[in-house]
């Protein structure tokens, strides 16, 4: 029976299952969710609105970026769709250790969540701009992961990148993408970017672009880690294995059938430390913007050049009409002059 459970676990990980199956139970995957995320998403479908509505939407987006952003800790549903919000168990919320690393590099711990107070607001200081790291380490107790008769301590490590901009704010001097603290956040996944050049990036991706991601364990790159990527819209899934440097590359797809301008990706990394008998599941959600549909791009180009062509044609017609009127006026003046001279004695 234990051998069968181990096989089921291996198949589940290989297929990118939405939950982690153990020998004696099945537990959810925890991840952070940004509330009212549509307020912070740039849109390309504004041409269907009038200019007053467009100005209102853009003003609301700018104001939303200055305000406090609220996030909730959720569990991945059995369907595997990260868009189906499923609340995390209240006991898990109370046992979760919530960490925040601000753009200055300072790590602080905030009070645990409850079923009633299940959201975290960032930032506390609206004038401090940069990239905030929000993390949660949730102990799940002892589980027999590989069905070998030895129990492992299981932990869920959820992380989210929160970017904050504000006109007139001050920029943080240590805006990073990893906690790099094995005691507080043992396993974490994040983008492999140059933080010296990117103070705000890392939380979004664009389809058909190549992005390098990294998995770290105890603050060091982790080779051979299995990372499952699950999408929200098309529910596309794929499993990657990190290389010797703890990295892997991904090219996000474009969900052309979605009605929204973005979709969410969920990166899930797992690691079994056999020396310490611990098992970790780390998550990181990422926003992937949709490319503007080709037909819309071509239609906008056609409309643009049609307007330009019509305008040039009207200018030519107006110019020719005015020229003809001027010639007719000159001819009439010449005719009147000849007539006057002829009538003179």
Domain boundaries, the chain: 2-288, 293-345
Instruction: Determine contact, residues 234/215, Cβ cutoff 8 Å.
Output: no
Per-residue pLDDT of the chain (345 residues; tens, 9 = 90+): 444 444 334 434 333 444 554 444 455 789 999 998 888 876 666 666 787 888 888 888 778 878 889 999 998 876 667 777 788 888 889 999 999 999 999 999 998 888 788 899 999 888 899 999 999 999 999 988 777 788 889 999 999 999 888 888 899 988 899 999 999 999 999 999 876 567 777 888 888 889 999 999 999 999 999 999 988 866 778 999 999 999 999 998 877 666 777 888 999 999 999 999 999 999 999 988 877 655 455 555 667 778 888 888 999 988 888 888 888 888 777 777 776 666 656
Please give the Cα distance from 248 to 211 (Å, whole number): 8
23: three-class secondary structure by DSSP:
coil
Q: Is the peptide bond before 123 cis (omega within 30 degrees of 0)?
A: yes
For 234, phi then psi, to 5°, come to -80, -10
Residue 44 is predicted with a pLDDT of 60
Specify the DSSP class assigned to residue 113: P
Residue 157 is predicted with a pLDDT of 96
Residue 15 C-alpha from the chain's centroid: 24
- Is the pTM here over 0.85, yes or no? no
Residue 10 is predicted with a pLDDT of 41
Between the two ends of the chain, the Cα-to-Cα distance in Å is: 131
Instruction: Determine contact, residues 60/39, Cβ cutoff 8 Å.
Output: yes
Residue 86 is predicted with a pLDDT of 82
Contacts of 323-328 spanning 24+ positions with Cβ under 8 A? none
Residue 234 is predicted with a pLDDT of 66
Please give the Cα distance from 141 to 115 (Å, whole number): 20
For 56, phi then psi, to 5°, come to -65, -45
Please give the Cα distance from 157 to 141 (Å, whole number): 14
310, burial (CB in 10 Å: exposed 0-12, middle 13-18, buried 19+): exposed
Cα 345 to Cα 54, 335, 336, 342, distances in angstroms? 74, 18, 16, 8
* 27, two tokens: 């537990």
- Radius of gyration of the chain from its Cα atoms, rounded to whole angstroms: 30
Closest to 180 (Cα-Cα) out of 70, 99, 269: 99
């Amino acid at each position: 029976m234990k051998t069968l459970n181990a096989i089921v676990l291996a198949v589940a990980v290989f297929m990118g299952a939405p939950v982690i199956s153990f020998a004696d139970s099945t537990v959810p995957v925890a991840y952070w969710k940004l509330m009212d995320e549509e307020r912070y998403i740039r849109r390309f479908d504004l041409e269907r609105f009038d200019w007053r509505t467009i100005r209102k939407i853009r003003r609301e987006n700018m104001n939303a970026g200055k305000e406090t952003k609220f996030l909730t800790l959720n569990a991945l549903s059995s369907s595997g769709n990260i868009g189906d919000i499923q609340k995390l168990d209240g006991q898990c919320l109370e046992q979760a250790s919530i960490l925040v690393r601000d753009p200055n590099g300072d790590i602080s711990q905030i009070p645990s969540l409850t079923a009633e107070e299940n959201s975290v607001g960032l930032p506390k200081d609206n004038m401090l701009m940069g990239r905030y790291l929000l993390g949660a380490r949730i102990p799940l107790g002892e589980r027999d992961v590989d069905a070998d008769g030895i129990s492992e301590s299981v932990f869920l490590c959820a992380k989210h990148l929160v970017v904050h901009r504000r006109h007139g704010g001050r920029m943080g001097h240590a805006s990073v993408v990893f906690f790099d603290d094995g005691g507080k956040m043992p396993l974490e996944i994040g983008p492999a970017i140059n933080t010296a050049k990117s103070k705000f990036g890392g939380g979004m991706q664009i389809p058909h672009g190549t992005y390098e991601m990294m998995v770290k364990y105890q603050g060091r790159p982790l080779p051979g880690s299995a990372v499952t990527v699950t999408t929200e819209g098309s529910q596309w899934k794929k499993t990657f294995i990190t290389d010797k440097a703890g990295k892997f590359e991904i090219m996000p797809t474009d969900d052309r059938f979605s009605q929204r301008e973005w979709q969410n990706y969920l990166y899930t990394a797992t690691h079994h430390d056999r020396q310490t008998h611990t098992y970790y599941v780390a998550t990181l959600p990422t926003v992937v913007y949709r490319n503007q549909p080709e037909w819309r791009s071509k239609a906008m180009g056609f409309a643009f050049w049609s307007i330009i062509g019509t305008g040039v044609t009207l200018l030519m017609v107006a110019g020719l009409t005015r020229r003809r009127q001027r010639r007719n006026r000159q001819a009439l003046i010449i005719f009147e002059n000849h007539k006057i001279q002829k009538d003179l004695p």
